[in-house]
């Protein structure tokens, strides 16, 4: 590879890195969901490593459109860490915030939840998550 080609490849990777949305780690509560047809347009089950973010997070993601099926967040995963354990789930849906679920919270199916806490806990407070 010529030095010009190497420089061009380096520039392409640098521009791609700058164009990628950078998200900061968020602290919130993890709760249990029973996934089905999500906002991203895919039918999901609890057997899959999937998750939901708040409507605020979903609709404010860079590139979000009026059609939730076309939201770029649907092509991302999130790392969720609680009690020293990290799970990775694909973002497939959002939930409407209410007094029990805020903008920094995330929902995951029971099989993912129990990797970090017993089902009987119901929620996991002070979990850290980041979109990757």
pLDDT of 1: 55
pLDDT at 38 over 60: yes
Confidence (pLDDT) at 11: 37
The residue whose two tokens read 């979990």 is: 127
The answer to whether the CB of 95 falls within 8 A of the CB of 22 is: no
DSSP-assigned beta bridge partners for residue 27 = 128
The pTM for the full model equals 0.82
Q: What percent of the chain has pLDDT over 70?
A: 83
C-alpha 59/C-alpha 54 separation (Å) is: 9
Model confidence at 128: pLDDT above 70: yes
Q: In the predicted model, what is the mean pLDDT of the chain?
A: 88
Task: Classify domain 25-131 at the CATH class level.
Answer: mainly beta
For 77-124, the pLDDT digits (tens) are: 999 999 999 999 999 999 999 998 999 999 999 999 999 999 999 999
Q: What is the pLDDT of residues 2-34, one digit of tens each?
A: 544 443 334 333 333 334 455 799 999 999 999
Q: Which two tokens stand for residue 49?
A: 């490593």
């Amino acid at each position: 590879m010529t030095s010009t080609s190497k420089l061009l490849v380096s520039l392409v990777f640098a521009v791609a890195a700058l164009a990628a949305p950078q998200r900061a780690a968020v602290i919130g509560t993890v709760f249990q969901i029973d996934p089905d047809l999500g906002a991203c347009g895919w039918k999901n089950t609890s057997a899959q490593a999937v998750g939901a973010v708040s409507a605020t997070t979903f609709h404010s993601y860079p590139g979000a459109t009026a059609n939730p099926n076309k939201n770029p967040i649907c092509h991302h995963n999130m790392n969720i860490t609680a009690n020293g354990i990290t799970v990775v789930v694909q973002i497939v849906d959002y939930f409407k915030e209410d007094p029990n679920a805020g903008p920094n919270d995330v929902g995951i199916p029971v099989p993912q939840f129990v990797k970090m806490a017993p089902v009987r806990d119901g929620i996991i407070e002070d979990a850290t998550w980041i979109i990757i």
